[in-house]
Each structure stands twice: as structure tokens, then as C-alpha cells.
């Protein structure tokens, strides 16, 4: 685990980064999305994203998205396009 994220294990976070690459993995009906320079913020429903506390900016993260969930992402899978997502630190 990345050191700055360790205190946030099992915590809900908000993230924003850029799509650097992706790979479809049909054997498990999943797309791996390589997100470059994601900024990870502590979720606070009372603040706008830009006002929320920054936990970390990482070099990259891998998202594993099931094909059936791809439509939930309002993202165009193009190189260097922005992507916003939420999740739980594992």
C-alpha cells in the first residue's frame, strides 16, 4: 500500500486524474484503466471537490471496472482525458 493512503484504509475517497492507458480483460469482463497523477481527497459532502482536503497525489492508480459498470462512468476513454471517480481505499 502507498504510505500516504495507509491511514485511510477502508475509507471512502474522491479522486480525479487523467486516463493514461487502458486494457480490456475479456476473461474477467473487466477493463483496467491506468489513471495518471490522481489526486485523492477526503470525502466531505458539505464541500465542493476543489475545497476538500487532499490526502495524496500519486504517480498512478489502476482502476478495475467491470464491463457492466462502464456506463456509470461519465468518461470518454481517450488518452489524457480527465476521469473522476470515487472508491474505498484497499
Phi, psi of 20 (to 5 degrees): -100, -25
- Summarised one tens digit per residue, pLDDT across range 5-28 is 889 999 999 999 999 999 999 999
pLDDT of 11 reads 94
- Work out the burial of residue 17: count CB atoms within 10 Å of its CB; fewer than 13 is exposed, 13-18 middle, 19 or more buried: buried
Residue pLDDT, tens place only, 44-64: 999 999 999 999 999 999 989
Give pLDDT, residue 1: 54
Q: In terms of pLDDT, which residue wins out, 44 or 73?
A: 44
Amino acid at each position: 500500500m502507498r504510505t500516504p493512503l495507509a491511514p485511510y484504509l477502508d475509507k471512502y475517497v474522491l479522486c480525479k486524474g487523467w486516463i493514461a492507458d487502458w486494457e480490456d480483460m475479456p476473461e474477467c469482463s473487466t477493463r483496467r484503466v491506468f489513471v495518471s497523477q490522481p489526486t485523492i481527497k477526503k470525502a466531505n459532502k458539505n464541500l465542493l471537490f476543489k475545497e476538500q482536503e487532499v490526502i495524496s497525489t500519486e504517480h498512478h492508480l489502476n482502476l478495475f471496472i467491470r464491463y457492466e459498470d462502464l456506463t456509470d462512468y461519465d468518461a470518454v476513454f481517450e488518452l489524457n482525458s480527465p476521469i473522476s471517480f470515487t472508491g474505498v481505499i484497499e
